[in-house]
Amino acid sequence: MAVLPERHLADLTGPEVLTNLGERSILVQPLGAVEQHGPHLPLSTDLVIAEATAEAAVAAASDLDVWLLPPLAYTKSNEHAWSSGTIWLSATTLLAVLDDIGRCVARTGTRKLVILNGHGGNSALAAVANRELRLAHGLMTFLVHPFVPADQGGASADGEAGAGVHGGTDETSVMLHLRPDLVDMSQAVANVPHWLQEFERVRFGGSVPFGWTSDDFGPHGHIGDPTAATPELGKALFERGVDHVAQALREIDRFEFRDRNTTS
């Protein structure tokens, strides 16, 4: 399902923004990445998935006053800085960029900004930006993931020992559904760090997060098992992610802070 053309903010004229957007409007900012995804997936994987999900979710919620901003391709990807082709912003730069976007959004008269994050390496910073944008610009801010990464408590495919965090079964499947022309399954190999199962707390999704770069788990760059990926699984996962984001937009549409003097 393609987003209605008139729902792309960047396709409006300046005067049209003034007449079409108001306090009830919701702006959606997709965040992707340009980073290595192993030998089988393109650098654009997170960008492709974030943009496609945002387009389809905004179309599914087109009865709401929701608008799509152009995706941000370059984000915080320095866990892949070791690999050629990865283009990343520093934490300071990305926070500054999100602050600049928030300042401009606030000038439209819109009160609600949704960050739709397609790259797990952005999650912590995007959560910080949520609060910073509220403090700095008075916006109501929300962070939505189409798929919660396994290292942040999300699910991982069977056989990945909870470690399918990057270029594994699920992500490869979604790309086989969306852009099979960019996937080279002849280069797909399993790269699952089963040794993490020795730890109860210090592990992906455990109670003790740890700093890592993708080459800490081998030279391939991905972490998971892409050999189990199928386009059918990708279609199901993508549709589930779109539905999740669309339903989140419906809740965001009616979400308001209660009177500070009430407790219920």
* Buried residues in 121-158 as b, exposed as e (16+ CB within 10 A): bbbebbeebbebbeeebebbbbbbbbbbbbbeebebbe
Residue 259 domain flag? no
Provide the pLDDT for residue 4: 54
Residue 168 domain flag? yes
User: Does residue 6 register a pLDDT over 80?
Assistant: no
Q: Considering Cα of 3, then 232, then 118, then 115, what sign does the dihedral take?
A: positive
How far is the CA of 122 from the CAs of 36, 82, 98, 152, 185, in angstroms?
15, 18, 11, 12, 27
Provide the pLDDT for residue 1: 46
- E strands of 123-199, at which residues? 140-144
Residue 260 domain flag? no
Number of domains in the chain: 1
Domain of residue 108 covers 5-10+21-254
Residue 106 domain flag? yes
Q: What is the pTM of this model?
A: 0.94
* CATH number of the domain encompassing residue 212: 3.40.50.10310
Residue 261 domain flag? no
Q: Containing H/E element for 251?
A: helix 231-254
Residue 96 domain flag? yes
- For the ranges 49-58, 105-114, 252-261, the lowest mean pLDDT is seen at 252-261
Residue 190 domain flag? yes
Over the stretch 131-189, which tens digit does the pLDDT of each residue have?
999 999 999 999 999 988 888 988 899 999 999 999 999 999 999 999 999 999 999 99
Provide the pLDDT for residue 263: 64
User: Does residue 91 register a pLDDT over 90?
Assistant: yes
Residue 223 domain flag? yes
Q: What is the mean pLDDT of the chain?
A: 94
